[in-house]
C-alpha cells in the first residue's frame, strides 16, 4: 500500500509525483494508461503532429457540434509518460493575472494571481535569466526559439504597422502585443513534464510508476476513496492508498473516472447504468477549450517549414539540435483586443511559416505561412459524459463551440485583422496567394459560414471538475472532491475558467501549489 496513488502521468501527475516523493518517508504509486515516451516523434519538436492518431494519442473526437456544421472536432490527448506535455506544441504561456483573480472571485479561494504567481517562478528555469517575472533553477526549462523562420520577423513588423505593439514579454502582467513564443525545450528538444519532474523522481525508492495501467474505477469504502482498480495486460489489480487518491487524468478522463465510480450527475449515471455513489451534478460540466482557425497563405520566401523532415534537416537536429525540426511550428504570437473596452486580449494569434491544416494531416506542395486566430475568452460551455459503463470506451464530449454569438463575433474580428496584417508589408510583398480562406469573403455572414466550416480546437480542454464552493463545483479550494474523503483532483479539469493562453504552464503551476496543499505546507508567499 502506498501513501498516495496518482492516476495519470501527465503534466500534473508528474509534478505531484516529484514533489510528494521529496519526502523519503512518503510512498507514491503513479498509474499511467500509456507507455514510455521514447519515440523520436516526442523528442523532435516539429514532429508533434506525427503523434496524432497513433498509439501515443487517446484520439478523441467530440459529438457532432451543432454550431460548427455538425462536425466532430478532433481532441488529441497524450498517451505516454508526460501525457499531453509529451504531445503539445511546447508553447510556454501563463495567462493573465485577471484570469486567476477571476477564479478566486468565483469561489476558488487562494487561487488568485498573488497566490499562484510564485509557483510559476518556482517551476521555471528561464534561460534568459532571473528577473522580476521569471525564475531560474526550477525543473521546467524555458528556452527561446532555437532556429526561427524569417517570416516571424516579417509578421511582427507588419503587425506593428497595423498598430499592434511589440511585446517584450507576454508572460509579464502586460500580455498585449506581438513577439516570439518561448518554449518548453532544452537544447532544442522537447522538455516535457516527464523530463522535468518524473524522470528525476523515478530514481527515488519511494516512487513506483506503472505504465499500461487502464484505470477502471475508484475503490471506495463508504464515502472514502481507498484505492484505484486498474487493468494491465488483461488482469485487474488494485492500487491502494493509505492517505489519498489523486486524479490527474485530464479534463476528459478525470470526470470519466469519477462517473465510472458512481460519482457524478445521478440522472446521467442512471441512464448509462452506473449505480450512483454520490450525486455530484457538476462532474463533467463546464467544459471549455480554445477554438482556432488556421488562415494560410502561399509565400515566396523559401525559409519555411516546407519539407522540414528532409534527411538533411533530421541530420542537423540529431547533430546540433537546431534547424527546422527544432521548431514548434507556431513560432511567433500576438495577443490582441478586437474591440475597445475589453479588460484583456480576446484573440491570440499562433503564427508560423508552415501549411497547417486539419491538424497537420493535409499537405501542400509549396512554402506557406499561417496566422491562426484563437479565441481566448470563450463564453460557450460544453460537457463530458460517459459513453457506457465500460472504462475502455471513450467518453462522450461536446464543447458547444461558437454557441455564444460573442464567440463568433470575436473570431470574425480576429480573421479580418489577420488578413489586414497579411496585406501589410513586409508580409504583403511575400504573399503569392491566399489559400484558406481565399480572397472571396466579404460580409460577416461569409466569414461566419467559413468559420463554422473549418474551425477546430487547439487542444486546451479544461473545467470539467471545477474548483468552487457552490452546488455545481466538484472540488473545494484544496482540490478535495466535495462529499468524499481521501480523494482530490489536480489537473486542468479544476480550472473554473480557461486562462488566456496555452494551458500547460498553468497546469504545472496548479500542481506545484497542490503539492504544497497536500503536504500542509504554508504556500509560497
Which residue ranges make up each domain of the chain?
1-68+76-143+194-287+383-394+460-525, 146-180+291-377+403-454
SS3 357: strand
Positions of the chain with pLDDT lower than 70, given as ranges: 522-525
CB count in 10 Å sphere of residue 410: 24
Closest by CA position to 368, among listed 294, 474, 465: 294
How far apart, in whole angstroms, are the C-alpha atoms of residue 486 and residue 312? 53
Residues listed for the chain = 525
Residues linked to residue 487 through DSSP beta bridges, in sequence order: 245
How far apart, in whole angstroms, are the C-alpha atoms of residue 443 and residue 441? 7
CB count in 10 Å sphere of residue 393: 12
User: Which pLDDT does position 525 carry in this prediction?
Assistant: 43
Residue for grid cell 450525486: 279
Give me the CATH topology for the region 1-68+76-143+194-287+383-394+460-525: FAD/NAD(P)-binding domain (3.50.50)
User: Which pLDDT does position 225 carry in this prediction?
Assistant: 98
| Assigned C-alpha cell, 100 | 486567476
| Assigned C-alpha cell, 468 | 468552487
Fold match, 1-68+76-143+194-287+383-394+460-525 / 146-180+291-377+403-454: no
Residues linked to residue 369 through DSSP beta bridges, in sequence order: 297
User: Which pLDDT does position 521 carry in this prediction?
Assistant: 85
Q: What is the CATH number of domain 146-180+291-377+403-454?
A: 3.30.410.40
411 in the Ramachandran plot: left (φ > 0), alpha (ψ -120 to 50) or beta?
Answer: alpha
User: Strands 396-398 and 347-352: what pairing?
Assistant: unpaired
How far apart, in whole angstroms, are the C-alpha atoms of residue 307 and residue 319? 18
Q: Is the pTM of this model over 0.85?
A: yes
Catalytic residues: 460
Q: Give per-residue burial for 112-138: e unless 16+ CB within 10 Å, then b.
A: bbebbbbbbbbbbbbeeeeeebbbeeb
Closest by CA position to 347, among listed 397, 406, 296: 406
User: Strands 28-31 and 207-210: what pairing?
Assistant: parallel
**Which alpha helices (DSSP H) does 61-109 contain, by range?**
97-105
Amino acid at each position: 500500500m502506498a501513501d498516495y496513488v496518482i492516476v495519470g502521468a501527465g503534466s500534473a501527475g508528474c509534478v505531484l509525483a516529484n514533489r510528494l516523493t521529496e519526502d523519503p518517508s512518503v510512498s507514491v504509486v503513479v498509474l499511467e494508461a500509456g507507455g514510455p515516451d521514447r519515440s523520436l516523434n516526442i523528442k523532435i519538436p516539429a514532429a508533434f503532429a506525427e503523434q496524432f492518431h497513433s498509439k501515443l494519442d487517446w484520439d478523441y473526437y467530440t459529438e457532432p457540434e451543432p454550431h460548427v456544421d455538425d462536425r466532430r472536432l478532433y481532441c488529441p490527448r497524450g498517451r505516454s509518460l508526460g501525457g499531453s506535455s509529451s504531445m503539445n506544441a511546447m508553447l510556454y504561456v501563463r495567462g493573465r493575472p485577471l484570469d486567476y483573480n477571476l477564479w478566486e472571485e468565483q469561489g476558488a479561494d487562494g487561487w488568485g494571481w498573488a497566490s499562484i504567481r510564485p509557483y510559476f517562478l518556482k517551476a521555471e528555469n528561464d534561460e534568459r535569466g532571473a528577473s522580476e517575472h521569471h525564475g531560474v533553477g526550477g525543473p521546467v526549462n524555458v528556452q527561446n526559439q532555437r532556429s526561427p523562420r524569417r517570416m516571424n520577423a516579417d509578421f511582427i513588423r507588419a503587425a506593428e504597422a497595423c498598430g499592434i505593439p511589440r511585446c517584450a514579454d507576454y508572460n509579464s502582467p502586460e500580455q498585449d502585443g506581438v513577439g516570439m513564443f518561448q518554449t518548453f525545450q532544452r537544447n532544442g528538444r522537447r522538455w516535457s513534464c516527464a523530463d522535468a519532474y518524473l524522470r528525476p523522481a523515478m530514481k527515488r525508492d519511494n516512487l513506483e510508476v506503472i505504465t499500461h495501467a487502464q484505470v477502471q474505477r475508484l475503490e471506495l469504502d463508504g464515502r472514502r476513496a481507498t484505492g484505484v482498480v486498474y487493468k494491465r495486460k488483461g488482469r485487474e489489480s488494485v492500487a491502494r492508498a493509505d492517505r489519498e487518491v489523486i486524479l490527474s487524468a485530464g479534463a476528459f478522463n478525470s470526470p470519466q473516472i469519477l462517473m465510472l465510480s458512481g460519482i457524478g450527475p445521478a440522472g446521467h449515471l442512471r441512464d448509462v447504468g452506473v449505480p450512483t455513489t454520490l450525486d455530484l451534478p457538476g462532474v463533467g460540466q463546464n467544459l471549455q477549450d480554445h477554438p482556432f482557425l488556421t488562415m494560410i497563405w502561399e509565400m515566396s520566401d523559401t525559409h519555411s517549414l516546407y519539407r522540414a523532415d528532409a534527411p538533411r534537416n533530421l541530420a542537423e537536429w540529431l547533430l546540433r539540435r537546431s534547424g527546422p525540426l527544432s521548431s514548434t511550428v507556431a513560432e511567433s504570437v500576438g495577443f490582441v483586443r478586437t474591440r475597445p473596452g475589453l479588460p484583456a486580449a480576446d484573440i491570440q494569434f499562433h503564427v508560423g511559416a508552415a501549411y497547417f491544416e486539419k491538424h497537420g494531416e493535409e499537405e501542400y506542395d509549396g512554402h506557406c505561412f499561417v496566422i491562426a486566430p484563437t479565441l481566448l475568452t470563450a463564453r460557450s460551455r460544453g460537457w463530458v459524459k460517459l459513453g457506457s459503463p465500460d472504462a475502455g470506451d471513450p467518453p462522450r464530449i461536446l464543447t458547444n463551440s461558437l454557441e455564444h454569438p460573442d464567440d463568433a463575433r470575436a473570431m470574425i474580428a480576429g480573421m479580418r485583422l489577420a488578413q489586414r496584417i497579411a496585406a501589410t508589408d513586409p508580409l504583403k510583398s511575400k504573399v503569392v496567394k491566399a489559400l484558406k480562406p481565399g480572397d472571396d469573403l466579404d460580409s460577416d455572414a461569409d466569414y461566419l459560414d467559413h468559420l463554422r466550416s473549418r474551425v477546430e480546437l487547439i487542444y486546451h480542454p479544461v473545467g470539467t471538475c471545477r474548483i468552487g464552493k457552490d452546488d455545481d463545483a466538484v472540488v473545494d479550494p484544496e482540490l478535495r472532491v466535495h462529499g468524499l474523503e481521501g480523494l482530490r483532483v489536480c489537473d486542468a479539469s479544476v480550472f473554473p475558467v480557461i486562462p488566456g493562453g496555452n494551458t500547460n504552464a498553468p497546469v504545472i503551476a496548479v500542481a506545484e501549489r497542490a503539492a504544497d496543499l497536500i503536504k500542509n505546507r504554508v504556500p509560497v508567499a
